[in-house]
A and B are shown apart, each in its own frame.
Chain A
Amino acid sequence: MDQRVLVSHTAPKDFHGTHNWNKVCSSIASQLPLRNVNLKSALRNATTTVIDLNVALVALESVRDDGVSQIPGSILEKPLLHLYILYCQDDDLETYRTSLKKEVKDWHTLVTSKKQPEWLILQIVRPPDPSKTQSRNVFKFAGTVQSKLKTDFNTDDRDRVVQLTYVSDNANDLIWAEFFNKFKEGISNAFANAISVRREEVRRSEGQQAMPGWNFCTFFVLKESLATSYEGVNLFEDALYQYEELESLFLHVSRERNFSWFGALITPGEGDDSAPLLSISKKPYRDLILANTISVFDFRIYILSRRCELLAKMGCLSDVPRKVATFLGAFGKRLFEIEAHFPKFWIESWIYSGAITAVEQCAAWQRQYDPEAIDKAAVDSGNGELLDLARSQLEVIGIELGYLPKEPPFSIALPKRTRRASLAPANITISSEDINAILQSQGAFYDIYIRLTNQALTSYAEGGRRKFGLKLHGALAALDLHRGNLAKALSTFASLPAHYAPHFWNSLESYMLSRALDTHDLSQKPRDVEWMHILLAFLKAFVEHRGADMLVPTLAEGGKEEYGYLEGFVKALKEASEGSENETKHPDHPALSVKTEMKAKLAEDRDGSYLDVTVKNHLPCDFPADEITVYLQGRETDRHRFSTTVEKLSPGKTRLTLFCPVPASGLFLVESSEIRAGKLLLQYPQRKTPGKAISQHQVVKIPPDPLALNVRIFQSRKVELDRRCLSLKIWSGRNAISRLELKLSAPSVTFRYRDAVLDEEAEKVEFETGLTLIVKDLGKDKAVGFSIPYVEAAAVQNMRIEVEVSYTTTDEPDLEREVHLVSSLSPSLPVSVNVQDWFRESRLISTFSVSSTTHQHVRVAETQLIVPEAIDTIKATPCAIRKGTITVTPSQPARFMFALDSVAGPVKESLLFIVKYRLLREEVAYIIEDQVRATIDEAKKSQDIRPIAVANLIESLERDSSWVPMYNITGEIEVPEVKRSSTEEVAEVVENAKQRLLEYRHPESPTGVWRELRLPVDVPVKAIVAITSLNLIGTPFNPHIGPDSKVPLYAGQPISAELRIHTTFRWGLDQDTSRAYLLNYQIEDMTREWLIGGLKQGDFLAKSEETHIVPITLMALHHGEFALPKIKVDGQLGPRDLTAGGQVPPSVETYQSHSAVKVLVLPRGGRSTFVVGMGSEFDA
């Protein structure tokens, strides 16, 4: 088909064929094809710029005349534009008039007589010769050839005369610009005109449809001419639209069963089934159409091919495969209606070959029209679809031939119809090589099928069609399964579900899984862990997809049979899991779910608690579980296991009660749940998912069990600072314990169980120590206490002790309960003791100040300062007057004073200071415990309620502290309003105990259990104790003043005095009394009171038990009562000591024996008389 726009050219006879003429023609041809021509597109109803337009120049004489053919051809078959080229200088009017004008006139007449007169005159001139410029101007008035041409031929507004100054070297393209503008304008006008004329014809013909004699084929050819016209000028969209209109019109016409123009739906010819579908050259379609003998089959293929080619040219190659697939599917369906006319599988062969050849054609077109492969992915995926279509034809054939089983996925393609027997004449045979090969042998079928599937897979992969690929993999696996390649099929089936699972595509996932299971069974492989995983995945998919359409054939049929398939598997699961060696854990399987209650119940009759759970079985059959377990996690690392055994879990909800024998109380987090079936563990951990709120976590509350075994750890009652020890109290509660093993652990602490001592106050019991502490045969409601020494590697503020207790009771000898407790122990004491010492000559006064280190009130019963018996050099005497218990509050420490009399020599060993104390709250707790016990005894009730009553009372005391001051003084405990007790019995006991507590008084001497703090106290050491005294000796009037004399002292009066410094080395360590120390004394300056005369300061040699005397004179500066100056005595290094080097001055304590002495100074008495002249003489 001619794809060019024709332009005729004519020239004057003398110019035509000359060398110049040829040059002009070739110059014009060199500018072709035309660029950017604006053409009117009917579809868009606007002008479209065609980038490249092929134009061919032909001589006017060679153009055929009208009416040669009756067949409407493309409008491009005739020249759209007529061009007249003449060569005439502009000033050569003479030549023009004489010869040229006539020739142009003749041409013009000829051209304008044609249907679409569009013409253009090109006048070629030489570049003006500069030498002839002058002469040119002379003739200018006569006009130019160009203007003549214009006036002679321009009949309408448009200017169709172009002048071109031709330069032979042709260097400048610009000179052509005006010409080509006109040229393009001419072409676009001519095209628009021609098209509109043709469209009018088409419209007329279309309007005559209803009239007799209207022929679709004739109309088709007419309309197709429009399409080819458009195609010729590269307006592919318009061309395509024509074909689309034609096709829809055809369908419309064919729907009306107006088939008179077509011989038959199809007249199958030899090789029709394998001919390349998209080739328009395989049959003389146009002639068939013109001859009215084309069949619908050929006609449709022709339209499809044309459309696809146009699409390819448009750059929409990706649409082609879809168009083809739709056509093959739809038209194939039409063909099946007359199936009997073909040999068996002829239609399948046609679709198969059509799809395959279309893929090949697409590849060819891609190379031709889209070499850069912009659209490659889309084309590839389209090709994949086509190959898939071909593949499904093979499946149809395969099933019918028995090569493939009639079940999904192969049967998907199977049309919903029954095949009719072929009545086809023998001359039509299947010509497709592939199909023939398939019909011959089964092996060829499989080869071709696999090859084609792999081709489709490659295409899909390149087109990015993952999910299509999965489907094909499924088909390949099914083929493997059918052919007995079980291992390969199994591995494919087992891997496919993972691709469907992420999007919850359960239907396909479960289908694949069920196939995998079936394959597994077929291959008779042992039911191993892998099988279990597949089955679990299948059950998961089943549960999640519950009730929706299952694709598994055995399940889809419904009814009770439905679950037989499943039940068999579930039973087999148990068997398989029991047979496996290792435990198989599977988290979060949705087949079962465990829901725990919020609150656990106490077992009441034994230690431990019950937890109710609801297990929901989502499967429609029993699940053979063995054990249900729920793990609770506490605040610390403790973990509690609630469990119960079951036989099976019926479908739906099952309520179960789990038991945990360990006594524990508080709030616990549900850590995980487990359902065990054989070696299979279905776990449901409650993870901390970042996205979810905390409230999603389930918490279980276990109420405290007052009668459960209890182990408490506290600071040992007797505290000796160099020997660390802790007390441990085990209370058996309701249990008669046959054996109890206890182990303590704390970071950087070693416990010495071997040195553990049983507390005397508590019950006696048999026990063993070793690496742990083992207690045997502890009766009900018995408490034993131990003191266990320990060694700390590093001093810590707060010791965190983990206690692991395992015990068995006589009632349940087989059950060993393990309790894990965490207790924190503060090694710091609730009291602190400070000592202050005062030295006298032979006596030392020590003040022990006991204060509370915490906010707690401490009751101190007694303090003692004990001198070891071996020491006889010192005697300690308490100075305490008050008897009874003293309360130490955080703000008010208590002081205890002791006098130590040195009998002889220094004391090197330390004394022991003992404080017996207890916390106020401990004391009160003991009292309450005692009183409640007494109350219950009196009422003759069971002691079981005691802990509850005590807890009740203590709780109310804790709420209000107003009873404390009264208690401190009298011992009366006024319990504030008690909260209502749980039972009448307890309430009564509490009420009675309250009365008793009101009447309670402090005992005369401290009773009960007291803590003891033993502090080693060193006797302080002072090398020298200097006792200073200042003795007044006499005044000038009274030279001798006795010690108690009442001699008045007056201000300003000199008083002679002596300073005595007595030194003793008694408190020093140095036994050498002969040694002398150089000391320095200094009298305090009291410049406001005393004027001191004499040696105010000086050095002296001090010896043991010697006195140094310095005479001084004092003068009181004013009257009043004031103290005497203090004396300061310091040690000094003597010259001898200095040479010895490195010695410190001896420690000196000065005792001012006169420090309490005050002196009364009287004002100075006496009188003075002064006579003053009054000056009376002058007055007289």
Chain B
Amino acid sequence: MMGQCDSRFSSRGHLTRTTIIIMPSTLKLNAVAFISPQNHPILIRTFSKQDENTIKYHYIAHTSLDIIEERANMTGKLGDCYLGLLYSMEDVAVYGYITPLKVKIVLALALSDAVVKDVEVIMLFKAMHMAYYSAISNPFLRLESSMDSSIDQSPHILVGSPKWKNFRKRVDEIARTLGTS
């Protein structure tokens, strides 16, 4: 019995992370985009099957910047990260979130006829933010960014590159958790 207890405690760090992710939700996540403070795309991850629609989410992430800018100018001083529904286009509802360090997160949720509770969206955003935060905390990112000076990339950009799988993994995990719950 004792042995079992021990094994559960040993993975406590992992448990705390998953508690953020697991939540009851009716949301369906189509895509998520992380955009750096300089408006460079960090990662655009789509979770829908159709490949050719990828460009749609690139468009969505890019166009969202316009609205995020509008919102941030309006409410930016209040320090609220959640920017709410940015717009809805065709069959997706686009939500925006801006971290205190101005990294923008854009979620493209499948448009549904149900009422979407902001709390749920905020939860999802926080999970995404957390994923980004833990990925960017990797000290080796900075090492690489300083070494490869020919292409001047900040760690923001690098974290989304396919070389660093951790970030993608985390984001995918969130999407999967959302899909199964």
Contacts and interface: CB of A to CB of B under 8 A. Distances in A.
Interface of A: 247-248, 251, 255, 322, 325-326, 329-331, 333-334, 378, 381, 385, 388-389, 392, 407-409, 411-413, 415-416, 464-468, 470-471, 500, 503-508, 511, 544, 546-549, 551, 553, 556, 590, 593, 692, 696
Interface string B27-66: 0000000000011110010101011111110110011011
Interface string B59-103: 100110111001000000000000001011111010000000000
9 contacts: A334-B113, A388-B89, A416-B48, A500-B62, A503-B39, A503-B41, A508-B55, A548-B161, A551-B55
B2 interface: no
Interface of B, secondary structure class, is mixed
Given A508-B59, A548-B161, A378 B41 contact: no
Contacts of B53: 408, 411-412
A465 B63 contact: yes
A408 B55 contact: yes
B10 interface: no
Contact of A411 (B52, B63, B88, B160): B52
The 10 closest A-B pairs by CB, nearest first: A547-B162, A412-B56, A504-B40, A503-B39, A326-B88, A330-B113, A465-B66, A329-B111, A551-B55, A467-B63
B5 interface: no
Nearest to A351: B90
A248 B115 contact: yes
A325 B87 contact: yes
Contact of B162 (A470, A548, A551): A548
Contact of B87 (A322, A415, A548): A322
Given A467-B63, A549-B44, 14 more contacts: A322-B88, A333-B111, A381-B67, A392-B89, A408-B56, A409-B59, A412-B53, A416-B50, A467-B66, A504-B41, A549-B46, A551-B58, A553-B52, A692-B149
Interface residues of B, number: 42
B85 A389 contact: no
Contacts of B66: 381, 464-468
A504 B70 CA distance: 21
Contacts of A248: 115
Interface in B100-125: 111-115
Given A329-B91, A467-B66, A696 B149 contact: yes
Given A389-B90, A468-B66, A549-B44, A255 B114 contact: yes
B143 interface: no
Choose among A385, A468, A470 the residue with the greatest number of B CB atoms under 10 Å from its CB. A468
Contact of A329 (B40, B88, B160): B88
Contact of A326 (B50, B51, B111, B157): B111
Choose among A378, A407, A507, A547 the residue with the greatest number of B CB atoms under 10 Å from its CB. A507
Contact of A412 (B44, B90, B93, B112): B90
Choose among B39, B59, B66 the residue with the greatest number of A CB atoms under 10 Å from its CB. B59
A378 B59 contact: no
Nearest to B160: A548
Contacts of B50: 416
B30 to A, nearest CB: 10
B40 A551 contact: no
Contact of A590 (B88, B113, B151): B151
A389 B54 CA distance: 19
A503 B69 CA distance: 15
B93 to A, nearest CB: 7
B84 to A, nearest CB: 10
Nearest to A407: B52
Contacts of A506: 41
B62 A471 contact: yes
A412 B151 contact: no
B150 interface: yes
A380 to B, nearest CB: 11
A685 to B, nearest CB: 12
Contacts of A500: 62
B97 to A, nearest CB: 17
Contacts of A503: 38-41
Contacts of B89: 325, 329, 385, 388-389, 392
A322 B70 CA distance: 14
